[in-house]
Amino acid sequence: MKLTIIGCLGGYPANGKATSCFLLSSHNFNLLIDCGSGALLALQKVISPLQLDAVVLTHFHADHIADVGVLQHFWQLAPGDKKVPWLPIYASNHDIENFNKLDWPYSTRKQALNFSKPMEIGPFTLSFFKTKHPVETYAVRIKETGNQNELVYTADTTIVSGLNEFIDGAHTVLTDTNFFANQKGPRWHLTTTETTDLANNTHVKQVILTHIPPFGDLDKLKYEVASKLMPNIKLDVADEGAIYEL
């Protein structure tokens, strides 16, 4: 599967870069994970949004869903051939008000995530883990048919029991690393130190820092993770347009 970083920032877009959004492609199937602020512009540099097959949303915070509305308008109004007659948008149906907004005429249809067993979406099998965050949020583990290299995206979370087990053995983990090691006050995201511990304890081969702060020194962010990371684990800071083959 091919992972393309569309949006890498947490909180708000800055310096021309979008907030959380990732494109997973396999066998001509295009799955978008989250659709943050600025994502629709960044996505159009990679593919036409009409070529999406499905969207999965991890939670209803603005930096993960801000561009869902304009994606719906794009699907309703933009000229061009649609890959599928309507675009399914998967999310938890527990927040009825936000879930119902995923239906849009001639455009998108809401689809409830299933948390009781893995879900098949195109060539991908997705399983979910409820994280610890101010609103209901799910990490997602993605397996591609016939591929041993699995991907986990932590979505937004602070340290929570069970997260290590959920990630364990994946090839690559995209971690919410919103905070530097010295972050004070309430923590609803991982710090660099926590990301390092997570990667070191879950047998992953690669960690990609996402939901990165829109301010501050990213070299320092990377260094803080790298300083105690096991040397066999590859480390990257997510950046728009970066492509990973798993």
Enumerate binding residues for Zn ion (CB under 5 A).
61, 156
Distance CA 221, CA 153 (A): 19
Look-up: residue for tokens 């021309």?
Answer: 16
Question: Based on CB atoms, which residue is closest to Zn ion, 156 or 224?
Answer: 156
Residue 133 CB, shortest distance to Zn ion, in Å, is 6
Question: Based on CB atoms, which residue is closest to Zn ion, 46 or 135?
Answer: 135
Residue 129 CB, shortest distance to Zn ion, in Å, is 15
Question: Based on CB atoms, which residue is closest to Zn ion, 26 or 137?
Answer: 137
End-to-end alpha-carbon separation of the chain, Å?
5
Closest of 70, 87, 85, 109 to residue 32, by C-alpha: 87
Q: Up-side HSE of residue 241: CA atoms within 13 Å toward CB?
A: 6
Question: Based on CB atoms, which residue is closest to Zn ion, 64 or 101?
Answer: 64
Scored b (16 or more CB within 10 A) or e, 16-35 reads ebbbbbbbbbbeebbbbbbb
Structure tokens that stand for 158 in this block: 């602070």
Question: Based on CB atoms, which residue is closest to Zn ion, 61 or 222?
Answer: 61
Residue 118 CB, shortest distance to Zn ion, in Å, is 24
Residue 2 CB, shortest distance to Zn ion, in Å, is 26
| Beta-strand relationship, 124-130 and 2-7 | unpaired
Q: If DSSP states are collapsed to H, E and C, what string results for 90-115? A: EECCCCHHHHHCCCECCCEEEEECCC
Residue 185 CB, shortest distance to Zn ion, in Å, is 16
